[in-house]
Amino acid sequence: MNGRRITRAERAQIAMMLEVCAFPKPGNVDRCHDYPETRLEHFLASAILARPAFEKAEHSEGSLGELILDAVESTSVHSGGNTHFGAYILLIPLIVGRDIPGACRVVAETTVNDAVLFYKAFGKTRVRVLANDELDVNDPAAVAELERRQMTLYDVMLYSARNDMVAREWINGFTLTRRGADLLHSYGGGCGAVVGSFIDLLSTEPDTFIMKKHGQDTAWEIMKKAREVRDGVRDISKFDQECIDAGINPGSIADIIIASLYIALGEGWAWDC
Amino acid sequence: MNGRRITRAERAQIAMMLEVCAFPKPGNVDRCHDYPETRLEHFLASAILARPAFEKAEHSEGSLGELILDAVESTSVHSGGNTHFGAYILLIPLIVGRDIPGACRVVAETTVNDAVLFYKAFGKTRVRVLANDELDVNDPAAVAELERRQMTLYDVMLYSARNDMVAREWINGFTLTRRGADLLHSYGGGCGAVVGSFIDLLSTEPDTFIMKKHGQDTAWEIMKKAREVRDGVRDISKFDQECIDAGINPGSIADIIIASLYIALGEGWAWDC
C-alpha cells in the first residue's frame, strides 16, 4: 500500500465493482449469479468503461444531462444491455458535487436541456418505464412536452419520484444513499457489510424496479422476506434463489447501494479488510 | 451497443477483468475462489486503478521502465499485495507498441535506466524471486551491479528468461502470448474459451511461478494433470480444489493469458457472446 490518492471517478468505479461482486445479493447479478443476457462481466466492463464520463464529472466538464448521456454511451459497447443507468443518475451528481450537500446543489441547478439529454440517454437503455406515462421516454412527443412545460432535469426527477426511488434521491437530499452509507459503516467492512446493508435497505424500502416489473404486491412481499433475512428467520441463499428463479431483481436498491459505497469509501470505509 | 472505440488502455483493463473472472481456473483466484489475503476484488481494483499508467502507455508518455513502475504504484493502494506484476511486464510493451511486432520493437529499445526503474517497481511488490541470485531485486547492490554491467531492461529479461516464462516473452517475440490468443480464437468466445486456453497453455508449459515457489517437479506434475484435464480424463473442479488446498497457483500462465486476451480482443475475439 502507498499513499496514491484515489480520484472521485475511481472511487465511483470501485463502488460499482464492489456492489456487483458482493454476494449473496438476493435476485441480482453477483459473484455467484448471472442472468442469461446480463452477466458479472458486463457489470464489470461498465465499471471500467464509465471512467471517461466520471473523469469529466470530476472536472465538471459538462452538465448533468450531458454527463449521464456520456456515461450511458461510454458503457453501451457490450451486449449486456443497461447495467447501471440508475447508478449513473446518483453517481454523476455525487462526483460533480463531491458529496451529498454538493450533489443537492448541482441537481437543483439542472436545465431543460439536461432533461432533453437525459431522455436521450434513457432512450439508449432498455430501462423499464411505466406504461401510459405522458412523459414516456419511448415517446418522441415526450421531449416536445418537456420543452413545452419547461421542465428541468430536477423537475423530471420530481415527476418520477412517486414511482422511482432513484429519482426520489434527487428530491429528498439523497436520504437512502446516506442511510446506506451509515449502514455500511455500522456493518463493518468488506463484502459482508455490502450484503448486510443491501438486505437492511431492502427490508425497509420496497424496491421500485421490482414494483415496475412485477407490481406493488411483489415489491412489498420481497421487502417482508428481506426483513426476515435481516432478522435471521429466513435463509439468504434460498431467498436469493427464489428471487432469481422468478426474475425478481431489486435493481434500484442496488443502484442506491453503489451511491452509498461511493459516499462510505470517501469517509474511509474499508472495502478490503 | 454502439460504435464507441475501446482504447488500448481499456482493452488491457478488460483483459485483466476477464482473466480473473473466468472459472474454474485451477489454483488461481477466480470468480469462485479467493486466497485469504488476495481476493477477486483486489484483482478487479487493480484492473480499474491501472488505467492512468495504461493511458500513458497508449500515448507513449514514458519509457517502459517508468510505465511499469507507474502501473505498480497506481495499483498498490489496497492490501491485496501484488496482483498483476507479470501482466504489466507484458501489457505495457503491448500497449505502447500496439501489437506483438510493435512490442518486440519497444522492448529492444529499453535502456539501463529502464532496468533500474523496473528493479524499483519489483521492490514494491511481493513477487517471489530465486534465492542466491546475484541480481536479486531485494539486494540494494543489485542496482549498482546493473549499472556496472550496463544491463538494459531487455538484458534483465534475457537474464531472467531461463527461470521466468513472462520474461521469456520479451526474448522470444511473445510466443506464448500469441499462442494463447490463437487458443482463445479456437475455443470460441466468452469465459469458456478463457478457461480452455488457460488449461491448454498449462498442459504444455510448466508454470515458472509454481516452479519458483514449489520446485520444478511440482510444476511438471501440474502440467501433466492439466493435460489430463484438457484430454477429459481429470475433473477440472477437483484439480482446482487440489491446487488451492496446496497453495499452487499458476500465476505466470495467468499473466500470459491476460496478454493473450489483450491481443485476441484487438483481433475481434468476442468476450460477451
Q: Sort out which chain B residues have CB atoms less than 8 A from A77's CB and list them.
A: 1-2, 4, 6
Give B131's pLDDT tier (boundaries 50, 70, 90). Answer: very low
Give the lowest-confidence range in A198-212, B128-142, B156-170, B174-188: B128-142
Identify the pLDDT of residue B140: 72
Closest CA to B33 of B20, B44, B46: B20
Q: Residue B192 contacts by C-beta under 8 Å, 6 or more apart in sequence?
A: none
Per-residue pLDDT at B33: 85
**pLDDT tens sequence across B219-253:** 999 999 999 999 999 999 999 999 999 999 999 99
What is the value of pTM for the model shown? Answer: 0.94
Can you give the C-alpha Rg of chain A in angstroms? 18
Question: pLDDT band at B1, cuts 50/70/90?
Answer: very low
Q: What is the pLDDT of residue B56?
A: 98
A12: number of Cβ within 10 Å = 32
Q: Is A194:A257 a contact under the CB 8 Å cutoff?
A: yes
Reply yes or no on whether the pLDDT at B105 is more than 70. Answer: yes
The full 3-state SS of B123-158, as one line of letters, equals: HCCCCCCCCCCCCCCCCCHHHHHHHHHCCCHHHHHH
Peptide bond into A26 cis (omega under 30): no
Confidence of residue B138 (pLDDT cuts 50, 70, 90): low
What's the ipTM? 0.92
Neighboring chain A residues of B272 at a CB cutoff of 8 Å = 39, 41-42, 45, 78-80
The parts of chain A modelled with pLDDT lower than 50 are 1, 131
Which pLDDT value is given to residue B148?
Answer: 93
Residue B164 has pLDDT above 50, yes or no: yes
**Which residues of A fall within a CB distance of 8 Å from B6?**
49, 77
How many Cβ atoms from other residues are within 10 Å of residue B173's Cβ?
13
Within 10 A of B245 (CB to CB), how many other CB atoms are there? 9
- The per-residue pLDDT for A125 is 80
pLDDT at A1: 43
Chain B contacts to A (CB-CB under 8 A): 1-2, 4, 6, 10, 13-14, 17-18, 21, 31-32, 39-42, 44-45, 47-49, 51, 73-74, 76-80, 124, 191, 271-273
Instruction: Indicate the residue of B2, B21, B41 with minimum beta-carbon distance to A18.
Output: B41
- The answer to whether the beta carbons of residues A254 and A28 sit under 8 Å apart is yes
Q: Where are the domains of chain B?
A: 8-99+173-266
- Contact call for B17 and A44, based on CB within 8 A: yes
What is the chain A residue with the closest CA to B125?
A1
Tens-place pLDDT, residues A157-203: 999 999 999 999 999 999 999 999 999 999 999 999 999 999 999 99
Distance separating alpha carbons of residues A88 and A117, to the nearest angstrom? 14
pLDDT for position B81: 72
Max Cα–Cα distance, chain B, nearest Å: 54
Number of separate helices (H) and strands (E) present in chain A: 16, 0
A8-266 is a CATH 1.10.4200.10 domain: yes
Predicted confidence at residue B72, as pLDDT, reads 94
pLDDT at A218: 97
Question: Closest partner residue to B31 among A40, A45, A73, by Cβ?
Answer: A40
Is A4's CB within 8 Å of B39's CB? no
B8-99+173-266, CATH topology level: Triphosphoribosyl-dephospho-CoA protein (1.10.4200)
Distances from the Cα of B41 to the Cα of A30, A95, A191, B66, B249, angstroms = 12, 22, 9, 26, 17
Does the pLDDT value for residue B75 go beyond 70?
A: yes
Q: What is the pLDDT of residue A129?
A: 53
Longest dimension (CA), chain A: 54
Which among A85, A31, A87 has a CA at the least distance from the CA of A240? A31
Cα B95 from Cα A134, distance rounded (Å): 49
First to last CA, chain B: 13
